[in-house]
Amino acid sequence: MNSHHDHDHSDETSRWSRLRHQAAHLVTPHRHEAMDTIDPVLETSREGMRTLWLSLGVLGLTTLVQAVVVALSGSVALLGDTIHNGADALTAIPLGIAFVLGRRAANRRYTYGYGRAEDLAGVAIVLTIAASSVLAAWTAVDRLLNPRDVTHLWAVAAAAGAGFIGNEWVARYRIRTGRRIGSAALVADGLHARTDGFTSLAVLLGAGGAATGRQYADPVIGLLITLAILMVLRDAAREVCRRLMDSVDPALVDIAEAALRGVDGVHGVGQVRMRWIGHALRAEADIVVGPDLTVVQAHELAVAAEHALMHAVPRLTAATIHTDHTGATDPHALLAHHSTD
């Protein structure tokens, strides 16, 4: 027995709404139309877009200020930081496209909707980080081989401070929003911005070295910035690859299993599967019920199990519940029974 569900929990606050909902399940299959899921998807997409536009404006202004100082000073460390800040600002474009696509309803070709566009945006972000690391490294090595004095050191220091403040603000905003709406790509982008902030502070060291006559300090800091970018690249690539491979936090599976076991009438829990579709979770679960239940009773139990999942698991927007029965009392036997179905 399958059960598809996505609803606004606020609709069930009144007793009348609950009774009406239960009555509907008795006369129709437990299935909700795609329109039921559009409102929360639109809301999270709007929040994501708002975050992207604000962070794009802040990082764009920061990049512009730093670019002017680079032209005046010739600091390769600041150039590397400017390139990275600019690349970070531009990652808002693929993410924005992904959020817009994610608003589209599922159809007969894309039956799960367009949420996976967010994962593709994550790949674009990883490639952008990789490209910026190559450019920063090449510039730093070139400056080591061809030393050049750095001028306007006070402006370089001020631009570095502006870079740190802008990136840290954007990082906190992106990470907070990404975790709230369940967007791995936005969280990865926030972590990217946070590292950019600390690399901006590293530019101050290069300026200090140049002020004491150490020309090599500026390109060396540029190379250190490149290493920091590579660290971010590793973490972001790991997070995006996990999402592409349908990885979820095992704690979510534990929560789902506990919620299902807590439903009256559920004798056992078989396999629980989850996957992210954009920044929304979907789940499939097998439960074991008594063999004496009628079809209607088993259906009602599946609905109760589904509601328990929806309330217990954050960001879960749809669930499919499969019911089975067995006379076995050993939990291991229940699982073995499910593995052969």
Q: Which residues of 66-85 are buried (b: 16+ CB within 10 A; e: fewer)?
A: bbebbeebbbbbbbbbbbbb
**Is residue 286 classed exposed, middle or buried when 0-12, 13-18 and 19+ CB atoms within 10 A define those classes?**
buried
135 pLDDT band, cuts 50/70/90, is confident
Model confidence at 137: pLDDT above 70: yes
pTM: 0.64
Higher-pLDDT residue of 120 and 47 is 120
Q: What is the pLDDT of residues 3-55, one digit of tens each?
A: 444 444 434 434 433 433 443 333 333 333 333 333 444 456 677 778 888 88
Lowest mean pLDDT among 130-134, 147-151, 175-179, 181-185: 147-151
Closest CA to 324 of 276, 285, 273: 285
- Dist. CA 86–CA 88, nearest whole Å: 5
Q: Above pLDDT 70, what percent of the chain?
A: 78
State residue 326's pLDDT score.
67
Mean pLDDT, the chain, rounded, equals 76
Model confidence at 168: pLDDT above 60: yes
Domains of the chain, residue spans = 9-32+248-339, 36-244
Higher-pLDDT residue of 1 and 129 is 129
Element (H, E) at 48: helix 35-73
Mean pLDDT calculated for residue range 268-293: 90
Lowest mean pLDDT among 81-95, 272-286, 305-319: 81-95
Which residues pair with residue 321 across a beta bridge? 285
State residue 333's pLDDT score.
42
Model confidence at 305: pLDDT above 90: yes
Mean pLDDT calculated for residue range 49-76: 84
Higher-pLDDT residue of 60 and 151 is 60
Mean pLDDT calculated for residue range 157-186: 82
CATH 3.30.70.1350 assigned to domain 9-32+248-339? The reply is yes
CATH architecture of 36-244: Up-down Bundle (1.20)
Q: What is the pLDDT of residues 229-252, one digit of tens each?
A: 788 788 888 888 888 899 999 999
Question: Which phi and psi angles does 181 have, rounded to 5°?
Answer: -95, -5
